[in-house]
Structure formats: structure tokens, C-alpha cells
A = this chain, B = another copy of it.
């Protein structure tokens, strides 16, 4: 029935107003959200600390993943399927659009195989592309 409650329950998180509202925001939003986006979008009577803590536990549980950036503005987006507590498996590429400024998960674009010289042990790879998204390019 209630999608949001289920997601929280399945991840052994108690169902609170804050978590529901933030998760709802992610489900309603195309593109990734920064902490500040949530602060604005989640209504006034929301403590910043709660948002930090909620984002942290969502990441920990594998509900959302963090997308790196080179300008101190981490964004977060919903994980798809197989992510769970402790292990993320988001093998897709991200796009930061220079026109609409959105950060998008391109689920259909898979992180390529990169050959490292002998001696390195690679755990995972993040790919962030800068460019123009489909919508803005037409």
C-alpha cells in the first residue's frame, strides 16, 4: 500500500514525519537534491540537524547515494534496487547539466571498465559528466 512506509520499514527505520517528508521529496523530484534543496523543499519547521541525520541514515541504509562534486555541494539521489545496508551498487554515470543545473542519474549509462596498472586494488568508481542534458539540448 504505502510505498514510503514500506521503504522505511524494509530498511528497519522507524516511520517518522521527517523521514516520510524527505523521502517523498526524493520520490517527487527528478534529479538529485542537495541538503539545501531539502531544507527549502521540506517546509519551514524542519531542523537542519534532522536533515543531516536523515540523509546520513538513508545513505547508510542504501536508500540514497551521494554524488561527488568539485564545488562542495554534494547531492543525493535515490538508489535503485540492489543497494542495501552497507553496500551500494550504483553503477551508473551522473550528469551535471550546465543549463538547468540539475544533476541526473543516467541509469542506462553504465560505468565503463577502467584498466589500472598492476598493484592497485579498486573498490568502486564514480563517474560524473558535465554537459547538457537531453531536455536542455533540444
List residues of chain A with CB under 8 Å of any chain B CB.
Answer: 66-72, 74, 93, 95, 98, 106, 108-109, 112-117, 119-134, 137-138
Contacts and interface: CB of A to CB of B under 8 A. Distances in A.
Copies per assembly: 2
Contacts of A129: 114, 116, 122-126
A74 B72 contact: yes
A84 to B, nearest CB: 18
Given A66-B70, A68-B70, A70-B68, A98 B123 contact: yes
A138 B69 CA distance: 31
A118 B95 CA distance: 14
A113 B112 contact: yes
Most chain B CB within 10 A, of A121, A124, A130, A131, is at A121
A38 to B, nearest CB: 16
Nearest to A116: B109
Given A113-B112, A128-B125, A132-B121, A67 B67 contact: no
